[in-house]
Amino acid sequence: MRSALNSCGFGERLLEEPIRQSEFDALAKSVDDRGLWFKPIDDGRGADPLGLVLRSSETSLLHEVPRAYANTALHHALDALGLSNPEQFRVTGSARRTFANGERREPDGSFEYKPAAGPFEPPGPPTLVLEVAHEQSRAELLAALCSWVGPAGGGAKLAIGIYVHAGSPGQEQGAEADHRLEVHVYAEHATSGAPTALGPPITLTRHSQPGLLWLPLTLLMPGSSRAERAVLSARIAAAGLLGGLWRCVQLPVWPVQSARWAMARWCGPWGALPLDLCQLVRTLG
């Protein structure tokens, strides 16, 4: 099985013959590796549906580096605002999830929030998921994001997708590759529950600023009170003011970049958490 995991691409079959969901669960535990996807072939009917075992994730460097960076950036954004309370927030990474149709798959990253204090139950519907695509097509990435959002799919409120365009190294010796990233965000519609794009995608390059992604608190913290979100929004605004002033202190070093970041941070929407991805492209080398 491990050799098959290493040789198969995203969405390819790991086993030729379909197996039962209970057999898949036992197989996933024995392999102890992320990347297994159970896709029912009978719409998940019955207590133990039949399905295919597919490869659910990529393993290339251009996939793993953005995945790790984005997960870390989200954790730091929450921690900086005092939102790392383990009774309400937790980063669940690539924990395998069960869809409404019985499908079982793990995202590249996930996050859970619950308004009431107390221990978390075993991984249920995530609040936010992250997917990164390099070998996949853009269409496959967008389809994966839509499948995660809403009660008819994976149950997530928000889904962030990062599409990696691999650049070629420059002609000069030691020149860095000109990678480019597209960041897509889909959210659950307030009334229909259907997945809806939150604005156009953000394009990130080595020279792009500010690279801020704004996540609405109403979706990031479902079930929270208006008062709780108002207090948090004020803290985000205060942190933005201080962060922007600090960037302005650095003006002699990075005048244009720092000014753009500061203005974008100050002019950000009320009631949204900023996720700073401006350094993500540079981590790809």
3-state secondary structure of 269: coil
- Which tens digit of pLDDT belongs to each residue from 183-214? 999 999 988 889 999 989 988 887 766 778 89
Split into its structural domains, the chain has a count of 2
Check whether residue 80 and residue 14 sit in a common domain.
no
Q: List C-alpha distances in Å: 57 to 70, 109, 142, 224, 243.
A: 16, 11, 15, 33, 36
Instruction: Kindly report the number of other CB atoms within 10 A of residue 227's CB atom.
Output: 8
Residue with tokens 């600023």: 209
Check whether residue 250 and residue 122 sit in a common domain.
yes
- Strand blocks (E) in the chain: 19-20, 36-40, 50-55, 89-91, 97-98, 104-105, 109-113, 128-133, 158-165, 180-188, 195-197, 202-204, 212-216, 272-276
Check whether residue 183 and residue 48 sit in a common domain.
no
Check whether residue 155 and residue 47 sit in a common domain.
no
Whether 268 has a pLDDT exceeding 50, the answer reads yes
Check whether residue 26 and residue 96 sit in a common domain.
no
pLDDT of residue 227: 92
Check whether residue 49 and residue 189 sit in a common domain.
no
Q: List C-alpha distances in Å: 147 to 16, 120, 165, 237.
A: 24, 24, 23, 33
Q: List C-alpha distances in Å: 90 to 99, 114, 135, 213, 227.
A: 20, 9, 29, 20, 22
Give the confidence band of 171 by pLDDT, cuts at 50, 70, 90. Answer: very low
- Please provide the average confidence, as pLDDT, over all residues in the chain: 79
3-state secondary structure of 35: coil
State the residue range of the domain holding 31: 2-55
Contact in structure between 149 and 157 (CB atoms under 8 Å): yes
Check whether residue 101 and residue 223 sit in a common domain.
yes
Distance in angstroms (rounded) separating the CA atoms of residues 93 and 145: 16
Check whether residue 31 and residue 81 sit in a common domain.
no
Residue with tokens 């981590």: 283
Check whether residue 163 and residue 42 sit in a common domain.
no
Check whether residue 21 and residue 127 sit in a common domain.
no
Check whether residue 147 and residue 169 sit in a common domain.
yes
Check whether residue 207 and residue 66 sit in a common domain.
yes
pLDDT of residue 74: 84
- Which tens digit of pLDDT belongs to each residue from 108-133? 888 888 877 666 666 678 899 999 98
